[in-house]
Amino acid sequence: MSVPLEAPARQLLAEAAEWRLIGMLLECPSGSWRGRVEELEGEVEDAELRQAARLALEQASEGLYHSTFGPGGPAPPREATHRDTLQLGYLLSELNAYYASFGYRPESVSFEPPDHIAVESGFVAYLKFKEAFAAACGDAEARETTAQACREFVTEHLASTAAPLKEMLAASGVPYLELTGRAMARRAGPAKQRFLVLGASSMEGDDSSEFGCGVEDQSS
């Protein structure tokens, strides 16, 4: 017999589903992507995100993804392209340390680089889920540790990409991406500071900046 979740845990699970859908909508639509978007669309109540998901099922394609987010595209999806006075290696090391600390394996969510907006959004969803689990178990210490990490990660990392990417996607002419950008930026809040990475102009020559869809994601 299942035990009903308390309101805080239910709310955190709802937030986790929203962040996971945002991440999915910013991934390359390959393999089982459409089926998973349909499932997530049924789990969220936010009208804007539900509309974005429905439009994505009509509009999304691998070609559109590459022309929008790929090298030379109008909407760089990597945090590194929105930072200044920060070495790319340091940024990736910091992100990987975050992921390792909480057992997050980005390759199970997206085959993009660690600083790709879809990977970072997936991490926020993962943290929200872990916080919900801690809340359901009555583990106040674990819940606060996870909540604090989530707040810091959004402020220090994801928000710096969400704000400018929202404006870029608004000008993309792709309705589902415009709605996704708005939903993401609203949740992330204002960037703590704006940056542009040192040596960003050479990123297209870096293997980690390739924007291929990769191997089909087998996760649900």
| pLDDT, tens digit only, all 220 positions of the chain | 344 678 889 999 999 999 999 999 999 998 899 999 999 999 999 999 999 999 999 999 999 999 999 988 999 999 999 887 668 889 999 999 999 999 998 875 667 899 999 999 999 999 999 999 999 999 999 999 999 999 999 999 999 999 999 999 999 999 999 999 999 999 999 877 544 443 333 343 344 444 456 544 433 3
Cβ atoms 77, 26 nearer than 8 A: yes
| Nearest Cα residue to 204 out of 66, 72, 67, 65 | 72
Domain 7-206: which CATH number of 3.30.70.20, 1.10.3480.10, 3.40.50.2300, 2.40.30.260: 1.10.3480.10
Give the domain ranges of the chain: 7-206
Q: What is the dihedral of CA 50, 157, 109, 126, to 10 degrees?
A: -70
| Overall residue count recorded for the chain in this entry | 220
- Rounded to whole angstroms, the Cα distance separating 119 from 178 reads 19
* pLDDT score, position 214: 56
> For 128, how many CA atoms within 13 A lie in the half-sphere containing its CB?
21
* pLDDT score, position 88: 86
Bridge partners, 116 (sequence order) = 78
Q: Burial of 84 by CB count in 10 Å (0-12 exposed, 13-18 middle, 19+ buried)? A: exposed
- Rounded to whole angstroms, the Cα distance separating 197 from 80 reads 5
| Nearest Cα residue to 26 out of 207, 169, 208 | 169
* pLDDT score, position 190: 86
Cβ atoms 164, 82 nearer than 8 A: yes
- Rounded to whole angstroms, the Cα distance separating 199 from 102 reads 30
- Rounded to whole angstroms, the Cα distance separating 157 from 13 reads 22
The model's pTM? 0.86
**Residue 183: C-alpha distances to residues 12, 28, 57, 98 (Å):** 17, 18, 17, 24
